[in-house]
Amino acid sequence: MDKKANIYLVGAGPGDPGLLTLKGKKILEKAEVIIYDRLVGDGILALGNPEAEYIYVGKMAGKHALSQDEINDLLVKKVATGKIVVRLKGGDPFLFGRGGEEALYIRERGYDYEVVPGVSSAIAVPAYAGIPVTHRDATSSLAIITGHEKPGKEISSIKWKELARGIGTLVFLMGVENLEFICQQLIENGKAADTPVALVRWGTLPSQEVLTGTLENISRKVKETAFKPPAVIIVGDVVNLRPQLNWVENKPLFGKKVVVTRARAQASRLVEAINELGGEAIEFPSIVIQKEENLSSLYNAFEHLDSYNWIIFTSVNAVDIFFAELRKQELDIRSLYGSNICAIGPATCKSLEKRGLKVEFIPEEYRAEGILQELEDRVKKGEWVLLPRARGARAVLPDTLRQWGVHVNEVILYEAVPAGRVSKARINDILEGRVDYLTFTSSSTVRNFVKMIGRDNVLRVNNKVKVAGIGPVTAETARSLGFAVDIMAEEYTIDGLLKAIIDDARN
């Protein structure tokens, strides 16, 4: 009887996590063992099952974590345990990925497997550099060739003469170290010395670099610029289309590294927006949203919801916890009938509207002083206000309302506490100036970030990284802890923060 097992050979694509296939993502989410290569980035790995066993088997010139024979044995050993195993490979597993060898080895030992193709860097990387591998006015033929074949090999598997004379676009993978040999072979076999060439390093990622030249001079340019692998090599007239078709490098945050200190649960929108704008969002959550253990004051407020004239929600976190607990008490939005709803900020408003609530009032300014100025003509003396919010929030709002003769029930729902795990590598990147922007979206993100890096290191950050704050309160907290705030949003929202960073990047 055949040994059946769950093993998948999955192509991770060229680098951008957005180019991983839906099927590949689905399989990664259920994987129990993930065996991955050097060119599989953190963004892709983060999509996998966090409880899985991750095993690195990457290879680079002169340094292999495991030999191919050892990788083959490891695959079968893990499959034999009955767990769901993913062999995760950069690009496509069957295009110079030795996926065919691994599949044969697995099959010969009686196990079944499934292949999940990946977007190949041979096509995607040129596309991200503004180079179509085929074009009606340039060429309709394409060859994809390994660039890893060593010079001096007695019998070459590459038909240089046919490539040089019969194919329009040539794409070499893993060939930077052999570039001079490749160019020499093409010229000697009939390719014109002035044929355009492009090298694309870290293609599809915000760190993408492109070097162009000709077969005659590209090797010299690589040496002069210290251009390093890994890179895809494109040879052919299609390279000349790059000035007109280049697109990703024209994005407003292309090449910029932006640190996001929001809690991971709230960071997705900011992270996605930075990536869509061409930047690299570096997640460094300095806080974790921790719900209060004792919510008896909230439950007491639920029993008297009909007595509140106003409920003021100051954050999406407050909305989420408030309504989750409301349902636990077997209540729903009908319990809020008769109360006016105030939302601080468009994100909070949107979260309330998704729950079917009408928001009567959204202040134009999203800090206590501005909110109070607009509330003064709305909230009357003797009225009752329910204020569900975070521990440690500024006292200006409830204190002023009470001074007006308003009854305020301030209910603490959660606290922003310091994140537990700290990435030393990412701290070093920030301290050494290997990032461009450090963003703060609340005072708690500032305070806890300082606890994580140490107060003595704030000056080092000031000297090398631009600090961006979402609003004046956050900026003032940052300044009080020693940061020089370079950028502050005019509108105190995520969109406002992004706009301020884009404006700075363009200057």
Write out pLDDT tens, residues 359-378: 988 887 777 777 888 888 89
Over residues 165-206, the pLDDT tens digits come to 989 999 999 999 999 999 999 999 999 999 999 999 999 999
Over residues 91-111, the pLDDT tens digits come to 999 999 899 999 999 999 999
Nearest Cα to Cα of residue 459 among 489, 491, 433: 433
Over residues 225-264, the pLDDT tens digits come to 999 999 999 999 999 999 999 999 999 999 999 999 987 7
Over residues 398-419, the pLDDT tens digits come to 999 999 999 999 999 999 888 8
DSSP 8-class letter at 94: T
What is the residue-averaged pLDDT of the chain? 92
Average pLDDT over residues 455-470: 93
> Residue 313 forms beta bridges with which residues?
343
More confident residue, 63 or 390: 390
More confident residue, 154 or 366: 366
Q: Angle at Cα 212 formed by Cα 119 and Cα 138, nearest 5°?
A: 70
What pTM was estimated for this model as a whole? Answer: 0.80
Q: Tell me if 242 sits within 8 A of 131, measured CB to CB.
A: yes
Q: Angle at Cα 240 formed by Cα 238 and Cα 244, nearest 5°?
A: 105
Compute and round to an integer the Cα radius of gyration of the chain: 28
Q: What is the dihedral of CA 156, 161, 165, 166, to 10 degrees?
A: -60
The DSSP element (H or E) to which 115 belongs, if any, is strand 114-116
Looking at residue 268, its pLDDT comes to 80
Tell whether the model's pLDDT for residue 506 goes beyond 70. yes
332 Ramachandran zone, left/alpha/beta (phi>0; psi -120 to 50): beta
Ordered by where they begin, the domains of the chain are: 7-118 (3.40.1010.10), 123-250 (3.30.950.10), 257-286+419-506 (3.40.50.10090), 290-418 (3.40.50.10090)
Q: How far apart are CA 397 and CA 368, in angstroms?
A: 5
Looking at residue 167, its pLDDT comes to 93
More confident residue, 119 or 284: 119
Task: Supply the residues annotated as catalytic.
Answer: 37, 59, 174
Tell whether the model's pLDDT for residue 63 goes beyond 50. yes
Q: How would residue 150 be classed by pLDDT, with cut points 50, 70 and 90?
A: low
Average pLDDT over residues 56-60: 81
Q: How far apart are CA 493 and CA 491, in angstroms?
A: 6
User: Phi, psi at residue 381, to the nearest 5°?
Assistant: -55, 135
Q: How would residue 5 be classed by pLDDT, with cut points 50, 70 and 90?
A: low
Cβ atoms < 10 Å from Cβ of 455:
10
Q: How would residue 1 be classed by pLDDT, with cut points 50, 70 and 90?
A: very low
The DSSP element (H or E) to which 240 belongs, if any, is none
Q: How would residue 503 be classed by pLDDT, with cut points 50, 70 and 90?
A: very high
